[in-house]
Amino acid sequence: LKERYIRWQGKRIALLTFSINLFFTIAIAAIGLIINNYEGSIFRDKLVFNYPLPKVILILLAISALIGTVALWSRLADFRLTTRTIDIRISLFKVKNNISNESKKQTSQSELETQLGCLKCVTNRLGKITWWLFFLQATLVLLGILILVFSL
């Protein structure tokens, strides 16, 4: 059962990363399309909330691309801290079981448990931040594309 959970968790992580990259790519491609056709007749005299249509969409998509970049940075930081958590768990196991540790610095069990608690808290928050950024990124891309499609 645990192996199945680990397998599906790995798939979920890969799919989230793929989805963030997909929405980022769509945003950049749409930005390129708008920039190439900015002066064309396709956008002439089109307004959204009394602002030129291409500017509104460019702003939405640029913010989405920026949020996607921050989401990827958050994922990388989460992965980095997760590997640190694993290192601390290994050290904690060695300390609890009186196994010699090759580490230069000897750390007490309470220090390791404190570090582990802090890292768990930070990685939990980074995970939640990543998901919120992903939802915001996807919403902005979809909103920009919908405004573009229904305004043309």
Q: Is the Cα torsion angle 36, 40, 46, 52 positive or negative in sign?
A: positive
Q: What is the pLDDT of residue 103?
A: 62
Assign 48 to helix, strand or coil: strand
Structural contact between residues 78 and 127, judged by C-beta atoms closer than 8 angstroms: yes
Least confident of 3-17, 55-69, 135-149: 3-17
pTM of the predicted model as reported, rounded to 2 decimal places: 0.83
Q: What pLDDT, in 10s, does the model give residues 18-39?
A: 999 999 999 999 999 889 988 8
Q: What is the pLDDT of residue 101?
A: 67
CB atoms < 10 A from the CB of 3, how many? 7
Q: What is the pLDDT of residue 4?
A: 82
Q: What is the pLDDT of residue 91?
A: 87
Q: Is the Cα torsion angle 11, 29, 52, 45 positive or negative in sign?
A: negative
Q: Does the pLDDT value for residue 107 go beyond 90?
A: no
Q: What pLDDT, in 10s, does the model give residues 49-106?
A: 888 888 999 999 999 999 999 999 999 999 999 999 998 898 888 888 888 766 656 7
Q: Does the pLDDT value for residue 127 go beyond 80?
A: yes
Q: What is the pLDDT of residue 104?
A: 58
Cα–Cα distance between 26 and 91 in angstroms, integer? Answer: 44
- Report residue 44: phi and psi, to 5°: -65, 130
